Amino acid sequence: MFKATTHDVSVTVMPVYIDERSNPATSQYFWAYRVVIENNSDQTLQLLTRYWHITDSNGHVEEVSGDGVIGEQPIMKPGENFSYTSGCPLQTPSGIMVGHYMMQNEIGKMLKVEIPAFPLDLPDLSPVIN
């Protein structure tokens, strides 16, 4: 489990390799990751956008950005959390993901909330420094 806290918002990520959706013979590897976003601040926040920086073990970088997460732009009151599951395909057996969310508070101020870096490594593979 990997966790970062920014502006009193905690983001916890747990990646899991999905063997059934992977095919190493064709260089297709797939991870699911569960994200829990906890609003520990004293203000209501809305997640507006996401940004991901994904690097595979060959050094290939993919950047992904867009509105919300899984088709939603959740609003979280103080003390509330939002969780979702998504996935990431790679062409190598290891990589790393990191990113951030842009959230807006009730008076319109934008907050950049960090997503912790987390590895995407096959379960039996020795960790790779990416």
How confident is the model over 105-127, as a mean pLDDT?
90
* pLDDT recorded at residue 124: 74
Residue boundaries of the structural domains of the chain: 2-121
Quickly state the pLDDT bin for 109 (edges 50, 70, 90).
very high
* pLDDT recorded at residue 129: 55
Quickly state the pLDDT bin for 97 (edges 50, 70, 90).
very high
CATH no., domain 2-121: 2.60.40.1470
- pLDDT tens digits along 36-56: 999 999 999 999 999 999 999
Quick check: 123 pLDDT over 90?
Answer: no
Q: Which long-range contacts (CB under 8 A, 24 or more apart) does 103-108 make?
A: 103/7, 103/9, 103/45, 103/46, 103/47, 103/48, 104/45, 104/46, 104/48, 105/41, 105/43, 105/44, 105/45, 106/43, 106/44
* pLDDT recorded at residue 94: 94
